[in-house]
Amino acid sequence: MHRFEVWAPRASRVRLYLHNELREMQPPASVDDHGWWRLEAPDAGPGTGYGFAVDDDDQPWPDPRSLWQPDGVHGLSCVYDQAAFAWTDKGFQAPPLSSAVIYELHIGTFTPEGTLDAAIARLDYLVELGVTHVELLPLAAFPGVFGWGYDGAALYAVHQPYGGPDALKRFVDAAHGKGLAVLLDVVYNHFGPVGNYTGKFGPYLVDTHHTPWGGAVNFEEWGADQVRRFFLDNALMWMRDFHMDGLRLDAVHAFVDRSAIHFLEQLATEVEHLSSAIGRQLTLIAESDLNDPRVVTSREAGGYGIDAQWSDDFHHALFTAVAPQETRGYYEDFGGLAKLAKALEETFVYDGIYSRHRNRIHGRPAGTLDRHRFLGYIQNHDQVGNRAQGDRVAMVAGMDRARAAAALVLLGPFVPMLFQGEEWAASTPFLYFADHEDPGMARAVSEGRRREFSAFGWKPEDVPDPVERASYERSGLRWEETAAGEHAQMLAWYKELIRLRRSLPELEDGAPGACRVEFDEQQGWLMVHRGVVIVAVNLGCQQVRLSVPLVTELILGSGTSTLQSGTLTLHDGATAVLRRQ
Amino acid sequence: MHRFEVWAPRASRVRLYLHNELREMQPPASVDDHGWWRLEAPDAGPGTGYGFAVDDDDQPWPDPRSLWQPDGVHGLSCVYDQAAFAWTDKGFQAPPLSSAVIYELHIGTFTPEGTLDAAIARLDYLVELGVTHVELLPLAAFPGVFGWGYDGAALYAVHQPYGGPDALKRFVDAAHGKGLAVLLDVVYNHFGPVGNYTGKFGPYLVDTHHTPWGGAVNFEEWGADQVRRFFLDNALMWMRDFHMDGLRLDAVHAFVDRSAIHFLEQLATEVEHLSSAIGRQLTLIAESDLNDPRVVTSREAGGYGIDAQWSDDFHHALFTAVAPQETRGYYEDFGGLAKLAKALEETFVYDGIYSRHRNRIHGRPAGTLDRHRFLGYIQNHDQVGNRAQGDRVAMVAGMDRARAAAALVLLGPFVPMLFQGEEWAASTPFLYFADHEDPGMARAVSEGRRREFSAFGWKPEDVPDPVERASYERSGLRWEETAAGEHAQMLAWYKELIRLRRSLPELEDGAPGACRVEFDEQQGWLMVHRGVVIVAVNLGCQQVRLSVPLVTELILGSGTSTLQSGTLTLHDGATAVLRRQ
């Protein structure tokens, strides 16, 4: 027995495809049914394949809310028993963001197998590294085998090549068993261009607004309630049924929602209710390019009440400080220690000032918002993967500057986030890859990628082709690198920094005033004061001598630095962490 | 000598057309010039015709910021001396919104001549009527002669058939001289489809978002700062140079602006600064269909800081209460006294509840916002003019119910607004009319109008053609109607109501609790308590008897009503205004 339901507000007829036949579904009885069609089938249960035919369709489409697509996004949906899994994580609580260190992880490239089960075997490594939260790139089913996951088509189904829904539950349960929280990246601003059949059923997208990925999601027009419910219920499902500790919301700046209650506010409200109901701390983190404090301001204060957001300004300021040759694209708005100091002290560099790249004034001051409402990072899937060759910061800026950057991320005011392999300066790139089965789409993606980078002077043959499997395979981590040499040294450095952050309360202080910066643009040094801790980096080309309080000890260093009689000497590229007594 | 300036951020060349020749303008010298081209011409002064040629254009286009288009929107721009007018209104201050009665007025139909100068002759009438503010439908130059004005193309130029810029100054100066404040309706959400040459110069519109009137205004994309300045400077100009006391902002719900500082907030901030600088109270009133209190919430509390907004929910609730046969289009969401009572007490009827017409949840409670942040009306240009035959409330609901509606508007909690001629139940309609010179556009407008109303069962021949001059002429007020008969009686009723509102402090109380409503849906009566004042209307079909406090006197009435021993008897259609002693 299974009760099938589907929203099709404009359909004149919906039929359930089951056991090779089409059965008429019950139409919405009144306006209170809001366009939902229903049918109970006594001969369906877990594992039964099904689909829906709309109007005169003679073939079924997959269920927009399908929980299981064992044959991929184009195949039949499959009834899945959400309640069957035997959880063992009772009582698990995620650490608060204020003491979090987040690790961004792509299931397909994290292990050679590219599955959730294989990733379970690496959880001990993450525990030893010292991170508290794993953030998984999107797992919603997308066409083909490999991809970043931002082209998800069946948003309720776990990508089958990763192991499907049961594998995700095994992963989360195992992570919780080891004390690790799990966050999931979800994409609510668009659907993947292929395999998304929601348009057969209802107005999920509008044609009045366009995003870089097609029609905008219908958050505010006719039928928007049920579209919002589609995404809200999806969010709640991951946390309630898959025990996720929170979500990372992709590109919320692409939402067009002028409703009196913004989708993000509604989501934050419902997640708060779920949190109370299940007694677990739940976290929402937005990717926002708006530099608008409203996103992470409490609802009581007129904000949307999202817990935290990514802070690209800090990334760009830090990246251009350690790699000053990077001046193209959005990096034209950054460069120099003054911008890095502003990011560290004030969060948004573009806080109402003119951005040349955008050719407009951008942003608004973060003001007194707690800095734990922002994530700080020097690598993430985008900042690495959106480079032509997917090269990581150590390859671009060298090991010394990568270490300095890590120190500023991990001892800085924001919630630190690492990207898989960053901690050992992995030699593997993270390329853009997308398994487009459709040849026309594949060609468009290949050519689009090459065209994009030709604008920056790249020859086509130097830009790896995203649709080739080799791009995916080259991006797989080589775990053997962690065993020895400079990679092992980098790993040790990261472990030390994380240990330090998690042991010194000053470093977990997110108060706006708890990060004060001195710097010399000319000489290239920068000192970050975090209570009694000082993080000093020399990004210049020659040795510098800095005055520090007399009663100060050197507690961690990279490169050559000496501390004597209140003078810190830093060779070029060196990093020193000091503590006043 | 005149200094010409124009924003053309992507032009390779801009030439000034002057005295039959094209002169090279100086390109922006640096990024700090933000795309502005400049040229001083010693041989230009007030009255000199000019234009700009962009890139390879061999003909000039009008200046997007032209102050004067004596030959219409397609003709040359003309240098205009903004400082030459001899103002006589020194020291004038507009009354605050809390004691305002606003009168919406369309220059083209207000007088037989259809000019600003002719309207001056009617100012004494408005003073005698008792209104405090005149709100002018848009005056920005549009193609052709007659139109509502929402298709403005040259947004800085006053429509020449109305008299041009000097005539507007004469009008405002005369109004101020008689103690009347003047508000101007401005359209910042789109340009008229014809005669708008801004696209030749810069990205004023975006192609990622569409409004019902074409591409959305670029408030947030590349170049948006200068587009925002175009509208901001326009707003400031009307108040600074034309002495407007405020603006009515058309359809702000059509703005797409996800900037951290919303255009409306920036506008409110700059208008506040201007107000301080010139020492005059300035008012911003938005037309908003969002039912979002953020629009009129103070900036300190996270809002946009607009002073007030139109309240269509109150209109629709009131209109369907007096004309219950009106159930189509957006009226399907209204009808019945409960909705009217909710509008009177809580402002937004749709305050987070499901709207059938929109097929989505709409709005958010207005909460404790002062009710003077909302305008209340039973007629306006849209609510009359968007009817197939432009018929007014008295024609639809009869004189008695029109009187009752007027009492609820003028003695209710919101800032009352009348539409020209309403006060004498003018027999003339206010039709939709637009003088589209372009035959293709004219045909499209004609056919579009007829198609729109055929959906509501109208035969094409019964829908007046907007492009025919007769539609414009039929909409002209017939002032002779005010002299006698039922029109004169209605005028007397309005004068009494306005006098009452302005003399009893209870009626100007905008506190959220200062309007309490009792009603009986079955019997059709409704009583509004405004401090010691009670406004009772019988919209039902038979006489009703209502208990009122014993020590109550009848101070104003329409239709048959008697008050005896604490019982108010109201014949059907009657209105009574009582006061407790």
Q: SS3 for B496-564, per residue?
A: HHHHHHHHCHHHHCCCCCCCEEEEECCCCEEEEEECCEEEEEECCCCCEEEECCCCEEEEEEECCEEEE
Q: How far apart are CA A534 and CA A575, in angstroms?
A: 10
Query: Does 3.20.20.80 match the CATH number of domain B99-505?
Result: yes
Q: What span, in angstroms and rounded, lies between the C-alpha atoms of B242 and B236?
A: 9
For domain B510-580, give its CATH number from 2.60.40.10, 3.40.50.1820, 2.60.40.1180, 2.40.50.140: 2.60.40.1180
Residue A473: CB atoms within 10 A of its CB come to: 16
Q: Which two tokens stand for residue A532?
A: 């009694």
The answer to whether A292 faces chain B, any CB pair under 8 Å, is yes
> CA–CA separation, A140 vs A147, rounded Å?
11
Q: Can you list the alpha helix ranges (DSSP code H) found in B419-468?
A: 439-454
Q: What is the 3-state secondary structure (H, E, C) of A210-231?
A: EECCEEEECCCCCCHHHHHHHH
The CA-atom distances, in angstroms, between B42 and each of B25, B29, B45, B67 are 14, 22, 8, 19
> What confidence score (pLDDT) does residue A228 get?
98
Q: Please, what's the b/e burial string for A140-153 (b: 16 or more CB within 10 A of its CB; e: otherwise)?
A: bbbbbbbbbbbbbb
- In SS3 terms, B19-82 reads as CCEEEECECCCCHHHCCEEEEEECCCCCCCEEEEEECCCCCCECCCCCCCCCCCCCCCEECCCC
A residues 206-225 closer than 8 Å to B (CB): 207-211, 220-225
The active-site residue out of B63, B173, B287, B351 is: B287
Rg of chain B over CA atoms, in angstroms?
25
Find which of B7, B218, B360 to mutate to test the A interface (most A CBs within 10 Å of its CB): B360
Backbone angles phi, psi at B108, to 5 degrees: -65, -25
Give the whole-angstrom CA distance, residue B452 versus residue A409: 59
Class of domain A511-580: mainly beta
Position A73, amino acid: V
DSSP letter for B147, please: B
The partner residues of A38 in beta bridges, in order of sequence, read A5, A26
Q: Are B186 and B229 in contact (CB under 8 A)?
A: no
Res A116: pLDDT: 98
Helix (H, G, I), strand (E, B) or coil at A141: strand
Q: Please tell me the distance from the alpha carbon of residue A168 to that of residue A476, in angstroms, as a whole number.
A: 20
Other Cβ atoms closer than 10 A to B484: 9
CA distance A516 to A510: 12
The helix (run of H) or strand (run of E) holding residue A339 is helix A337-346
Residue A35: both structure tokens together: 């366009």
Two structure tokens written together for B447: 């056919």
Question: Is B287 one of the annotated active-site residues of the chain?
Answer: yes
Asked whether residue A313 is marked as a ligand-binding residue, the answer is yes
- pTM equals 0.95
* Regions of chain B with pLDDT less than 50: none
Give the DSSP per-residue string, A143-188: SSS-B-STT-SEEEEE-GGGTHHHHHHHHHHHHHHTT-EEEEEE--
CA–CA min distance A445, chain B (Å): 21
Write the DSSP symbol of residue B375: E
Question: Measured at the alpha carbon of residue A555, what is the angle toward residues A551 and A560, in degrees to the nearest 5?
Answer: 105
In this complex, the residue of A207, A223, A302 whose CB is nearest that of residue B302 is A302
The beta strands (E) that lie in A380-531 are given as 415-419, 516-520, 525-530
> Which segments within B111-263 are labelled E, that is strand?
133-136, 140-141, 154-158, 181-186, 205-211, 214-217, 246-249
What order do you get walking across the sheet with A567-570 strand by strand? A544-547, A567-570, A561-564
CB B410 within 8 A of CB B498: yes
Q: β-strands A561-564, A567-570: how paired? A: antiparallel
d(CA A196, CA A62): 9
Listed by start position, the domains of chain B span 2-61, 99-505, 510-580
The neighbouring-strand residues paired with B141 are B154
Is residue A472 helix, strand or coil?
Answer: helix
Q: How far apart are CA A62 and CA A72, in angstroms?
A: 10
Taking the CA atoms of A505, A508, A509 and A513 in sequence, report the sign of the dihedral they define.
positive
Name every chain B residue with its beta carbon within 8 A of the beta carbon of A302.
Answer: 294, 297, 301-303
> Cβ of A359 and B260 within 8 Å?
no
**What is the least distance, in Å, from the CA of A63 to any CA of chain B?**
22
How, if at all, do strands A49-54 and B374-376 pair?
unpaired
What residues contact residue B63 under an 8 Å CB cut-off, 6+ apart? B4, B6, B50, B51, B52, B77
Cβ–Cβ of B223/A301 closer than 8 Å? no
Catalytic residue among A185, A287, A435, A465: A287
Q: What is the C-alpha to C-alpha distance for residues A437 and B466, in angstroms, rounded to an integer?
A: 53
> Nearest Cα to A378, choosing from A333, A431, A295, A311?
A311
**Tokens 């094209």, located at residue:** B22
Order across the sheet with B49-54: list the strands: B21-24, B14-18, B49-54, B77-78
Alpha-carbon distance of A450 to A461, in angstroms, equals 9
Helix (H) or strand (E) holding A78: strand A77-78
Sort out which chain B residues have CB atoms less than 8 A from A221's CB and list them. Answer: 360
Q: Which residues of A48-84 are buried (b: 16+ CB within 10 A; e: fewer)?
A: bbbbbbbeebeebbbbbbbbbbbebbebbbbbbeeee
Task: Choose among B209, B225, B361: nearest Cβ to A360.
Answer: B225
Range A364-384 burial, b when 16+ CB lie within 10 A, else e: bebeebbbbbbbbbbbbbbbb
Contact B259 A9 (CB under 8 A): no
Specify the 3-state DSSP secondary structure of A366: coil
Closest partner CB to A222 (pick from B222, B258, B359): B359
Q: Answer yes or no: do A364 and B290 touch at CB < 8 A.
A: no
Which residues of chain A have a CB within 8 Å of the CB of B294? Answer: 260, 302
Residue A547's Cβ-side half-sphere holds a number of Cα atoms within 13 Å equal to: 0
CA separation for the pair B288, B270 (Å, rounded):
20
Predicted confidence pLDDT, tens digits, chain A (581 residues): 999 999 999 999 999 999 999 999 999 999 899 999 999 999 999 999 999 999 999 899 999 999 999 999 999 999 999 999 999 999 999 999 999 999 999 999 999 999 999 999 999 999 999 999 999 999 999 999 999 999 999 999 999 999 999 999 999 999 999 999 999 999 999 999 899 999 999 999 998 898 888 889 999 999 999 999 999 999 999 999 999 999 999 999 999 999 999 999 999 999 999 999 999 999 999 999 999 999 999 999 999 999 999 999 999 999 999 999 999 999 999 999 999 999 999 999 999 999 999 999 999 999 999 999 999 999 999 999 999 999 999 999 999 999 999 999 999 999 999 999 999 999 999 999 999 878 888 898 889 899 989 988 899 989 999 999 999 999 999 999 999 999 999 999 999 999 999 999 999 999 999 999 999 999 999 999 999 999 999 999 999 999 999 999 999 999 889 999 899 999 999 999 999 98
Q: What local confidence, expressed as pLDDT, does residue A210 receive?
A: 87
| Beta-carbon contacts of residue B560 (< 8 Å; ≥ 6 apart) | B570, B571, B574
A333 touches chain B (CB under 8 A): no
Q: Do A259 and B292 touch (CB under 8 A)?
A: yes
* B296 shares contact with chain A (CB less than 8 Å): no
- Alpha-carbon gap, residue B249 to A329, rounded angstroms: 37
Given this chain, do its domains B99-505 and B510-580 carry the same CATH topology?
no
User: Are residues B375 and B102 in contact, defined by beta-carbon separation less than 8 angstroms?
Assistant: yes
For residue B86, give both structure tokens. Answer: 């001899």
- Residue B96 has a CB neighbour count (10 Å cut-off) of 15
In whole angstroms, what separates CA B366 from the centre of its chain?
21
> Is position A253 annotated in a ligand binding site?
yes
Closest to A376 measured CA to CA, from A351, A406, A400, A342: A406
Structural domain A2-61, CATH architecture: Sandwich (2.60)
- Rounded to a whole number of angstroms, the distance from the CA of A352 to the nearest CA of chain B is 8
Number of other residues whose CB lies within 10 A of the CB of residue A277: 10
Closest by Cβ to A225, choosing from B221, B225, B361: B361
Cα(B289)–Cα(B253) distance, integer angstroms: 6
B150-173 burial code (b ≥16 CB/10 A, e <16): bbbbbbbbbbbbbbbbbbbbbbbb
ipTM of model over 0.85: yes
Collect all residues of chain B within an 8 Å Cβ-Cβ radius of residue A253: 258
